Structure 1
Amino acid sequence: MQTAPAIRVADLCFSWSDQGKLVLDHCSLVVPKGEFWMLLGTNGSGKSTLLRLLSGLAVPQSGMLEAGQPVGFVFQNPDHQLVMPTVGADVAFGLVSEKLSLSETRLRVEEALQAVNLVHLERRPIYALSGGQKQRVAIAGALARHCEVLLLDEPTALLDPDSQRDLVEQVRRLVKTRGLTALWVTHRLNELEFADGAFLLEQGQVVDQGDPLRLRERLA
């Protein structure tokens, strides 16, 4: 029996104002469970808006969207979402609502930091981290909450080439070893080699999808 997709969007419409132009115009896509897909498109095509809708940060005017819960969101600039003074405290912060015991919280934090190879930095101040390390802390926060779906909005935009490659390889590994599903927004065509599939968004609609290397050739 075929399993349900991790992300399903059908005829989704959204505008930032009641009478404004549609940012997403009957947008439809499906991301299979346990796969790493990328979302391409020019500025203003609706990529970031789609991620915000999937994460519950905005509500569509019409259409349908489903995403496996819980959902984790990694912003382009990690300084916009890391709020605690140290690495361990920030990863634990997202667990407050689950009302876990102290030992359960510590175990979740340690497991999440191990997954992104940052256990040795648990007590490190956030301000002392590199950009790539900060993004991995943000991902660890999602892993600690046992997120099924990971949404990443141009997470390498502010990183140097080495950190960029390290982060995309980390996410690829997490998808393949932990059963996560990831949807990653990018402008960097070289990142497509790590994806299982890709979508091309234009004027709020998916106009092409499938093999990421074919899409890279189309856009090169």
Structure 2
Amino acid sequence: MTSPAVTDDTIAIQVRDLSFRWYKGDTVLDACSLEVPKGEFWMLLGTNGSGKSTLLRLLAGLLQPQSGYIKPLPKFGFVFQNPDHQLVMPTVGADVAFGLAEENLTSVQIRQRVQEALDAVNLLPLIRRPIYALSGGQKQRVAIAGAIARHCEVLLFDEPTALLDPDSQLELVSQVQRLVKDRGLTALWVTHRLDELEYCDGAFLLAGGKVVDRGDPQRLRQRLMGG
């Protein structure tokens, strides 16, 4: 790993010159760098195979880079493309509480955290609903509630709307936009849907293993639409 970048407390997510390749495989990331300011909602764009999901997994510590610097994240939550891969308990309330098992909390404190988190994603009336009875969008919101209950400061989203219908897609992204603003969270959201850019503060374009453009989401949208 290279030397750490200069510490900046206004930056929540920072990578510098990050490189990653699969064993005996092609290079996925090549000297990739980006920064996400605290309290902002940024999106990561790129074609299939451009390394978007790999970058998110490197940030989460699920993979290790060959070289480069990753600023240690504060407490974070990771929301997968398919919520069935991370919801493990039979009911909504039980699943949100599951992530609190290792924290030194009383049963009253756990109940308060769960209720607060579900209220934040507009699912409190469904606290006793079986997970199997939820829609895809509701399941993704349960996953987000789990991160809120744990008081995560950073949210990482790996194409969370890929399996959702258009209405559920926009409902979820607008919900995350509101949570970022209301709670001072930081979010990095991987997507290939250009209409979602309406909701973020900024965006990165990943190509050839690097961030080749960044900044105003509408300008990037126009670039990708050929405008």
Structure 2 length-normalised TM: 0.94
1:127 aligns with 2:149: no
1:8 aligns with 2:14: yes
Residues 149-160 of structure 1 mapped to structure 2, 5 A cutoff: 149-160=154-165
Using the alignment, how far apart are the partners of 1:209 and 1:102 within structure 2?
45
Residue of structure 2 equivalent to 1:26: 31
Using the alignment, how far apart are the partners of 2:9 and 2:93 within structure 1?
35
Amino acid at match of 1:143: I
- Offset at 1:99? 2.8
Contact persistence 1:44–1:203 (CA under 8 A): no
Contact persistence 1:83–1:90 (CA under 8 A): yes
Using the alignment, how far apart are the partners of 1:64 and 1:179 within structure 2?
25
Q: Which moved more, 1:173-182 or 1:99-108?
A: 99-108
Amino acid at match of 2:150: R
Contact persistence 1:132–1:163 (CA under 8 A): yes
Using the alignment, how far apart are the partners of 1:84 and 1:203 within structure 2?
40
Change (3 A) 1:67 1:33: farther
Structure 1 length-normalised TM: 0.97
* 1:185 aligns with one of 190, 200, 211: 190
Residue of structure 1 equivalent to 2:5: none
Amino acid at match of 1:162: D
For structure 1, the residue ranges without an aligned partner over 5 or more in a row are none
- Offset at 1:22? 1.6
Residue of structure 2 equivalent to 1:114: 119
Q: How many corresponding residue pairs? A: 218
Using the alignment, how far apart are the partners of 2:10 and 2:136 within structure 1?
35
Residue of structure 2 equivalent to 1:57: 62
Residue of structure 2 equivalent to 1:143: 148
Residue of structure 1 equivalent to 2:171: 166
Post-superposition CA distance 1:6-27 (Å, at most 9, x none): 000000111221x432211110
- Offset at 1:173? 0.1
Say what the alpha-carbon RMSD is for the aligned residues.
Answer: 1.0
Identity of aligned residues (%): 74
For structure 2, the residue ranges without an aligned partner over 5 or more in a row are 1-7
Post-superposition CA distance 1:101-153 (Å, at most 9, x none): 11111111111001000000000000000000000000000101111110001
Using the alignment, how far apart are the partners of 1:198 and 1:26 within structure 2?
18
Q: Secondary structure in 2 aligned to 1:201?
A: strand
Using the alignment, how far apart are the partners of 1:110 and 1:215 within structure 2?
38
* 2:77 aligns with one of 65, 72, 76: 72
